[in-house]
Each structure stands twice: as structure tokens, then as C-alpha cells.
């Protein structure tokens, strides 16, 4: 049996990377890895050093393609960003996707649990590359499958990001089948569509469901956050902006600041590279509005002492958006 290490490296197309590096005649290469691949940094960098390249490895977080280490890019000829598809074109950055080659046949154990006959496929890029085969497999079992293309930063059919669920808009599907690992994205799909989401994790061969009851519970929690923030209006508002290339929405922050001013509410724009609870705890504002990664608002809010709202929720608080028009925050 192959070791985890060998399986991991075989999922990386080093030949394409080296071909591009040779064309550009570079000497110093920067390597940026997500946490899951940092454990293999010695083996990955060896591939580059054996080819004669000088290597510097990023120690910063890498949450997605929105999170390119621009500081490291200043110190190298080329930055090789692993595990994500590009969402923006950045000069001197090579993106190296990471694909899980999972067994589609394992879905056979769970197909009977899908009650609806018309579903939409969704998943992260690590899994969505195989969706044409998944679609064929499910259609042979009598299920009508929608495999849609998204907008903006979405690169392949069926792909979703934590900030972009556009492939699920107007599909006509009765339910969603999400294939991937981790619960953040399938939860987001349920909230975005208001429909039942079946969640299949091929790595663990596990199957779960996020239904309307989950969505209702989520909305109740968000309403509580808005109510808490409303009680803190007198302490001012911190509008949080990320400096990361795929998250930076300064124009939105300025728009929200103006809306707050028009309602007589004091606010300041706070620019961060890394948004963490301890960072916000240093400031005196009553609550915060997050214009960066939506995951901070929806998945990590309990880590923060003070309420953290989405831009749409802040508009609800200001009275310029109706609660019935609550929408999940997206970066298209």
C-alpha cells in the first residue's frame, strides 16, 4: 500500500510547474501551502531544490486562492501557490490545483437516501473536477442531475467557494448533493438556497443532511447577533476590511460607512491582513461588520467576544434592508 506521503505527492502535477519555471528562467521560487500540505513541505521543496531552484516557503496562512502571500512574492521570482484554482490573475504566481481521486462507486451505499429526483451537484474544486463522471453515475440510477457553471471566480462546473454559490442559482433542482470534506460549504449551500443539502464525504465515506430546520436555526442565530449589535450602536462600529487580494472590498466598506453616517452612527474602517479574535479585541467598538471572508461571520462568530455582522445584516440593522431579504454574503 502506498504511503500517505506518496499519494499526496502524486496528486501534484510537478511536471507542469517545472515546465513553466524553465520557460520563465527563474532562480528563486516561493512556495505557499495550505495547512494540510505544510506537513509535507520538506518533500515538496526537495522537488524544487533537486532542480536547482532556491526556495523560500511561506509561513503565512493559506485559506484559499483569495489568500496569496504578496509579501513573499516581493522576495522571489515566482510564487507557486498550491491546492487552489485561481480566482484572480496575479503576475508571477503559478497556481497548482490539488485533486482527490475518490471512488464514485461508494455513492451507491447512499443513493437510496436521496429522496428527490432532481438534484444539483456542488463541491469544492478538489472534488468538482470529477463531477461529469458523478453526473453520469447518478443519472444511471434514475436521478436528474444539474451541473451548472458559476459566475466570477468559479472556474469549473459545480464548483462552489465559501464566498460564491452562483452555480446553485436558478437550477430548478429540488435538492443539492454536495461532495467534499468539511461542513462549512454544504451548510452555506443550504443557507444560500433554502433547500435540503445532502453531504457526501468520500474520504470518510460518510453521508449527512442539512435540511430546512438547520437553515431556520441558522437564521435565528443571525437574528440574535443583529439584536446584540443593535444594543451596542452607541459604542460605534468597526467595519473590517481584509488586505488579501481576493477578499479586499474597500469600496463596500466605504459604502457601509456612508450608510452608517446617514443614520447618525459613528463607524471606522479597520484594515487587517489576518482577522483574528485577539486582533479585534484590541479595539473599543461595540460590534463589527465583516467585509472579508464570509466564513468569519458565519462559521467563526462564536470565537469573537462582540457581534460580527455581514454587510447585509448591517443593512438590516440600519433599516435599509428588510429582514425577509436576508441574504448570505458573497464575493462574486
User: Which CATH class name applies to 104-210?
Assistant: alpha beta
- Per-residue pLDDT at 3: 47
Low-confidence winner among 4-13, 135-144, 172-181, 210-219 (lowest mean pLDDT): 4-13
Whether 231 contacts 225, CB under 8 Å: no
Instruction: Give start-end residues of each CATH 3.40.50.11860 domain in the chain.
Output: 218-325
Does the structure show a pLDDT above 80 at 8?
no
Q: State which fold the 4-96 domain adopts.
A: Rossmann fold (3.40.50)
Instruction: Give start-end residues of each CATH 3.40.50.11850 domain in the chain.
Output: 104-210
Q: How far apart are alpha carbons 225 and 303 in whole angstroms?
A: 13
Please give the CATH architecture assigned to the domain spanning 218-325.
3-Layer(aba) Sandwich (3.40)
pLDDT tens digit sequence for 303-332? 999 999 999 999 999 999 999 889 999 987
Instruction: Give start-end residues of each CATH 3.40.50.11840 domain in the chain.
Output: 4-96
- Per-residue pLDDT at 87: 85
pLDDT tens digit sequence for 89-148? 889 999 998 888 889 999 998 999 999 999 999 999 989 999 999 999 999 999 999 999
pLDDT tens digit sequence for 248-277? 999 999 999 999 999 999 999 999 999 999
- Per-residue pLDDT at 152: 83
Q: How far apart are alpha carbons 315 and 102 in whole angstroms?
A: 42
Whether 215 contacts 190, CB under 8 Å: yes
Does the structure show a pLDDT above 70 at 289?
yes
Q: Which three cell numbers stand for residue 39?
A: 506537513
What dihedral angle (degrees, nearest 10) is formed by the CA atoms of 316, 322, 325, 330? Answer: -20
Does the structure show a pLDDT above 70 at 296?
yes
Backbone angles phi, psi at 271, to 5 degrees: -100, 125
SS3 per residue for the chain:
CCCHHHHHHHCCCHHHHHHHHHHHCCCEEEEECCHHHHCCHHHHHHHHHCCCCEEEECCCCCCCCCCCCHHHHCCCCEEEEECCCCCCCCCCEEEECCCCCCCHHHHHHCHHHCCCCEEEEEECHHHHCCHHHHHHHHHCCCCEEECCCCCCCCCCCCECECCECHHHCCCCCCEEEEECCCCHHHHHHHHHHCCCEEEEECCCCEEEEECHHHHHHHHHHHHHHHHHHHCCHHHCEEEEEECCCCCCCHHHHHHHHHHHHHCCCCEEEEEECCCCHHHHCCCCCCEEEECCCHHHHHCCHHHCCCCEECHHHHHHHHCCCCHHHCCCCCCC
Does the structure show a pLDDT above 70 at 5?
no
Whether 44 contacts 31, CB under 8 Å: yes
Amino acid at each position: 500500500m502506498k504511503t500517505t506521503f506518496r499519494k499526496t505527492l502524486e496528486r501534484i502535477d510537478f511536471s507542469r510547474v517545472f515546465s513553466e519555471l524553465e520557460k520563465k528562467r527563474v532562480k528563486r521560487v516561493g512556495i505557499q501551502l495550505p495547512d494540510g500540505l505544510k506537513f509535507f513541505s520538506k518533500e515538496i521543496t526537495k522537488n524544487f531544490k533537486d532542480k536547482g531552484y532556491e526556495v523560500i516557503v511561506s509561513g503565512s496562512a493559506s485559506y484559499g486562492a483569495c489568500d496569496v502571500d504578496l509579501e513573499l512574492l516581493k522576495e522571489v521570482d515566482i510564487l507557486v501557490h498550491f491546492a487552489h484554482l485561481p480566482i484572480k490573475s496575479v503576475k508571477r504566481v503559478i497556481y497548482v490545483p490539488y485533486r482527490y481521486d475518490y471512488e464514485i462507486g461508494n455513492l451507491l451505499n447512499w443513493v437510496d437516501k436521496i429522496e428527490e429526483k432532481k438534484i444539483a451537484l456542488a463541491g469544492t474544486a478538489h472534488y468538482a473536477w470529477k463531477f461529469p463522471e458523478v453526473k453520469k453515475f447518478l443519472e444511471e440510477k434514475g436521478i436528474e442531475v444539474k451541473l451548472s457553471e458559476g459566475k466570477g471566480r468559479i472556474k469549473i462546473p459545480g464548483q462552489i467557494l465559501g464566498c460564491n454559490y452562483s452555480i446553485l442559482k436558478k437550477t430548478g433542482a429540488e435538492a443539492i448533493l454536495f461532495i467534499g470534506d468539511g461542513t462549512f460549504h454544504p451548510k452555506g449551500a443550504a443557507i444560500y438556497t433554502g433547500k435540503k443539502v445532502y453531504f457526501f464525504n468520500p474520504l470518510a465515506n460518510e453521508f449527512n443532511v442539512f435540511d430546512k430546520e438547520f437553515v431556520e436555526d441558522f437564521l435565528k442565530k443571525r437574528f440574535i447577533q443583529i439584536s446584540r449589535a443593535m444594543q451596542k450602536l452607541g459604542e460605534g462600529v468597526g467595519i473590517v476590511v481584509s488586505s488579501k487580494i481576493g477578499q479586499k472590498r474597500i469600496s463596500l466598506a466605504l459604502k457601509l460607512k456612508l450608510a452608517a453616517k446617514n443614520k447618525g452612527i459613528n463607524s471606522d474602517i479597520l484594515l487587517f491582513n489576518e482577522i483574528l479574535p485577539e486582533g479585534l479585541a484590541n479595539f473599543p467598538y461595540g460590534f463589527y461588520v465583516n467585509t472579508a471572508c464570509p466564513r468569519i461571520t458565519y462559521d467563526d462568530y462564536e470565537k469573537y467576544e462582540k457581534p460580527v455582522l455581514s454587510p447585509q445584516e448591517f443593512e438590516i440593522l440600519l433599516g435599509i434592508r428588510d429582514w425577509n431579504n436576508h441574504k448570505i454574503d458573497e464575493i462574486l
